[in-house]
């Protein structure tokens, strides 16, 4: 998806940003787990609610991503 949407001259840079984003997300996941450990919130409740939230967000941005990917294919 990154290579389809990105301008040709920025594909390599944006792939690096994508991979750096994965690394940051993994670090934040560990930090969030340590915060949740002392909060008393059951982990499955947080996991369920964050998964539903992410799914809703993805459903909302799907039309925008489809427009971007079809535009760059022309």
Chain-centroid distance of CA 5 in Å reads 15
Does residue 61 have a pLDDT over 90? Answer: yes
pLDDT in tens, 4-38: 777 888 888 989 999 999 999 999 988 988 888 88
Tokens standing for residue 60: 């909302």
Burial of 5 (0-12, 13-18, 19+ CB in 10 A): middle
46 Cβ contact partners less than 8 Å away, ≥ 6 residues apart? 36
Specify the residue for token string 């982990």: 43
Q: Give the residue among 71, 60, 63 at the shortest CA–CA distance from 4.
A: 71
Q: What is the pTM of this model?
A: 0.56
């Amino acid at each position: 998806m990154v290579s389809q949407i990105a301008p040709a001259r920025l594909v390599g840079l944006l792939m690096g940003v994508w991979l750096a984003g994965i690394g940051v997300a993994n670090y934040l996941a560990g930090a969030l787990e340590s915060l949740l450990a002392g909060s008393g919130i059951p982990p499955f409740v947080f996991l369920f609610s964050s998964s539903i939230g992410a799914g809703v967000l993805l459903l909302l941005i799907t039309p925008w991503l489809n427009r971007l990917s079809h535009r760059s294919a022309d």
